[in-house]
Amino acid sequence: MNRFLSLTMIAVFSLGLATPFASGLETENTSETANAKVAAPPHCEVPCGIYSDTMRFEMMLEDAKTIAKGIDFVKANVGTGPVSPDTVNQTIRWVNTKENHATNIQHIASQYFLTQRIKPDNERYVDQLKAAHTVMVAAMKCKQAADPATAETLSKAIYDLYRAYEGKEPKFHEEK
């Protein structure tokens, strides 16, 4: 067993997948180790069990609120008369932010729920699958339009996914 772990650690370090610090091993702080940069994704699809389903729903709802705020800015400032360079700049930033948050939602729905949490042997599988797909399409529609209805549809879809996933009405942190 120890030999297997040692070989695994050697493979992990040689592939650059971890740093000695990240594994709990201490090493001499040379310029080589001090300048090493290792990118670790926030969720690596390893079944570690530290992630919270409820937190994922709350994150998606927070993203949806940000999208709605971006849409509100665009609606209030574009097409209403002369536009200043600062307004153009802020509008571009809000559109980019809206896109990023919609992508976050799509990522959580696909990479977290569809690939890891929604299982084919679950009796609510088809409902969960449809609900997750609806969330991803609603997020896409938010990217394509600056209509407040798209953000409302997205929020509703996230709540519907929760209902299909958990089988109960949502009660999130902000609602307590």
Closest C-alpha among 97, 109, 32 to residue 65: 97
How would residue 50 be classed by pLDDT, with cut points 50, 70 and 90? confident
Phi/psi of residue 80, nearest 5 degrees: -110, 15
What is the average pLDDT value for the chain, to the nearest integer? Answer: 81
The per-residue pLDDT for range 118-135, each reduced to its tens digit, is 999 999 999 999 999 999
Residue 80 confidence (pLDDT): 80
Domain ranges of the chain: 2-34, 53-175
CB 77 within 8 A of CB 91: yes
Residue 76's φ and ψ, nearest 5 degrees, are -75, -25
Query: Cβ distance 43 to 112 under 8 Å?
Result: yes
Token representation of residue 96: 């980019």
What is the value of pTM for the model shown? 0.73
Q: For residues 44-68, give the mean pLDDT.
A: 86
pLDDT at 9 over 50: no
pLDDT in tens, 28-39: 444 444 455 555
Q: What CATH number has the domain spanning 53-175?
A: 1.20.120
Confidence at residue 47, expressed as pLDDT on a 0 to 100 scale? 64
Average pLDDT score over residue span 84-91: 93
